[in-house]
Amino acid sequence: MIGQKQIAILEWVIFGGLSTCAVAASELIGLKQVWEDGVVYTVVLFAAIVTALRPAWGRKSFWGSLALIFTGHTIVWLVVLQALPSRRFGIPKLLLIPLGAIEGVLIAGFLWKRMKVLRTSGPRS
């Protein structure tokens, strides 16, 4: 039980550290607020997905699928962020919360289902 609590604390520390680093790097580079929001949103989203799907970490196909999804996500966000008008405070943060929850559930569900299918259909890849 103590080991599980230590792992959970470590996950939150890593999650918080990645988020903080994303904000700090965005500020250091001098990104406009809308781009900073996109970077932080992406880091938080994928950190949550990777953390939630820890049982699949040992599968090469998980990382390959995640890389493809990340690439698609990044391309879509680049198009969306370029189309958005400049705003002083970037993207409304209350909009990002449900958007991230929905996207996270869809991506995690897809990855989990893919890992489950691969697990039942053949050797570990």
3-state secondary structure 39-56: HHHHHHHHHHHHHHCHHH
Which residue is it, tokens 């998980």?
62
Chain segment 89-105, per-residue pLDDT in tens = 888 888 899 999 999 99
pLDDT per position in the chain (125 positions), as tens?
Answer: 556 666 678 788 888 899 899 999 999 999 888 899 999 999 999 999 998 888 888 889 999 999 999 999 999 999 998 988 777 788 888 889 999 999 999 999 999 888 877 767 655 54
Structure tokens at 1: 């039980």
Residues 92-101: contacts with CB under 8 Å, at least 24 apart: 93/37, 96/37, 96/41, 99/41, 100/41, 100/44, 100/45, 100/48
Residue type (1 letter), 24: A
Closest CA to 66 of 108, 102, 11: 108
Provide the 3-class DSSP secondary structure of residue 54.
helix
Single-letter amino acid code for the residue at 94: L
